[in-house]
Amino acid sequence: MKILVSGSAGHVGSALAEYLLKEHDVVGVDLCTPECDPVKSATVKGDVRDAKRMEALMKDVDVVVHAAARVSVDASLKEPIEDASHNIDGTLTLLECARDLNLKRFVYISSAAVYGNPASIPIKEDEHLHPLSPYGASKLTGEIYSMVYYRSFDLPTVCIRPFNIYSKRQDPDDPYSGVITRFRRCISKGKPPVIYGDGCHSRDFVHVSDVVMMIDSCISSKRAVGRVYNCGTGVGTPIKSLADLMIAISDRTVKPAYEKERPGEISHSVADISRAKMELGFEPTVKVEDGLREILCP
């Protein structure tokens, strides 16, 4: 198959494109250049909001995986209009370009940020959706458009809601990286990792390789069409425990520093992955401790 991966220089997109290149013809598109050589050679520069550019790139593809996005809650709070431009306008542009192409699948990579503070843990896909940030709102809007194109135009869409994705591929110098990458940056320099709030809030950390496996299942499974799936491990890790574990693995003597909780911060976020297990046969394979050792002890 020929598969277009938007955001192929990003954390998820680059890992996915590298995996898919083993068996498929992959076209990556991104505003940046991927660091991974196989993905770099398969990626062209482009903006998913550029309809003419996307029409040309998508005219003979079988599958589109839309992973391109601005993925920072902090950045969305500072620049909500720019966040909406990338995450909403970009998604709608790709959907519109795709609707007459007879695609086998359009996979939209959403986010657990669509839930906000859930009523119960673990979070099921039918939980009420109350995003707390412009980022969460933009990703939810992309989901809504994806499902409207499925119902209105028979575009075979599927949405995935990854929880906290991590791997050694994340850029430790990116100020908007996830908490694992931020902690890694501090600990490697002998500085205390900064915890916002009391550290009791928890997250479901899922390795990027498990996210890639779910995306691959959504591409091949007919049952996935028109569905939304959580992508996580089903296990929550308190942020304080995460910091302590990373310090221990790194064999450092630093202690976490605590600062005021940030606006838009979700208290607890743990996935119920029973739907993905039942319908896709999804089973996460990387435990948090093993994934952290991969990052911290290369």
Long-range contact pairs involving 53-60 (C-beta distance under 8 Å, separation at least 24): 54/29, 54/93, 54/94, 54/97, 55/97, 57/4, 57/27, 57/29, 58/4, 58/94, 58/97, 58/98, 58/101, 59/101, 60/2
Q: For residues 111 and 31, give the distance between their C-alpha atoms in angstroms, rounded to a whole number.
A: 21
Measuring CA to CA, which residue among 217, 213, 201 is closest to residue 262? 201
Residue 18 CB burial class (10 angstroms; 0-12, 13-18, ≥19): buried
Q: Which of 135, 150, 166, 229 is catalytic?
A: 135
Contacts of 175 (CB under 8 A, 6+ apart): none
Is-catalytic flag, 108?
A: no
Which residues are marked as active site? 135
